Amino acid sequence: MAVNPAQVCLFIPAGLKKFKLDLFNRIGKKIEAHGGRVVHHDPKGLEALPPEVTPIVGCMPECVYLMNEWWKTGRQWIYWDRGYARRVFATWLPRGDNGGYYRWHLNTLQMNRIADVPGDRWQALKIPLRPWRKGGDKIIVASTLHHYFDMFGVPGWPEKIAAEIRTYTKRPVIVRHKETTVPLDVELADAHCLVAHGSIAAVEAVIMGCPVFVDKSNAAALVGRTDFREIDHPVYPDNREAWVHSLAYSQFNEQELVDGTLWKLIT
């Protein structure tokens, strides 16, 4: 196994909605059945773990200081969040069955390399990889919830990056708010590119055929650009198929989170 479930510790924060708490508890009980651990509510409980135990955290403001410390020290840890495709909600691609998919990664927030994996898991999702779109004019900046930008020390990022981009191009720059009801593919129909920090909208845009400019931490950086000064010159790489195959091997449905598939495939 890539990770031994007997040597992990899942953090379950306070204040979760019922459906999230139920999912956390199901995963936690399975981890405990394998000999692993669960810490509830107080992230300081993760500080006391022995070095051979791998902590598991999600997009939780209270855990950011720990993630920063683990990055510095090189300690192995696991991050999990909603998946890339067939997510449970907040998606413009088809939604997931069986509770949807969640991404799990070692030592990183999103996929940061294209692995040599087969296409079976991607093909099972039955989501078309659309041809690249070229010739659009407007630039779409994808925003997300403000607490994400606050968590990672980039408050107001969408507005700031939009202002910066306007100094590099004469194209119209539009900030797309997370709460919009306009479908993403409609907004991208005449777009030159999409810009995002960590938003999975960038992953969805690439699948829809729209080029992207993103932060280096975004999984779409593997098939996009990260230098916003080059905003007038997006790329249309031909490795998207290998990229989506790797995405599919980085996410798991609820059944796979408890039946052992996760621990065999997580990277």
Looking at residue 92, its pLDDT comes to 61
Q: Provide the token pair at 185.
A: 């593919």
Looking at residue 164, its pLDDT comes to 98
Domain ranges of the chain: 5-117+246-265, 138-240
| Residues of the chain falling short of pLDDT 70 | 1, 89-92, 94-98
Looking at residue 89, its pLDDT comes to 66
> Which of these CATH numbers, 1.10.8, 1.10.760, 3.30.70, 3.40.50, describes 138-240?
3.40.50
Q: What is the pLDDT of residues 254-266, one digit of tens each?
A: 899 989 999 999 9
Q: What b-and-e string marks burial along 93-114, b requiring 16 or more CB atoms within 10 Å of the CB?
A: beebeeebbbbbbebbbbbbeb
**Nearest-angstrom CA–CA distance, 167 and 171:** 10
**Nearest-angstrom CA–CA distance, 231 and 224:** 11
Q: What is the pLDDT of residues 52-102, one digit of tens each?
A: 999 999 988 899 999 999 999 999 999 999 999 998 766 667 666 667 899
- Hey, what amino acid is at 156? G
Contacts of 147 (CB under 8 A, 6+ apart): 61
Strand partners, 54: 8
Q: Is the dihedral of CA 74, 76, 77, 83 positive or negative?
A: positive
Looking at residue 98, its pLDDT comes to 62
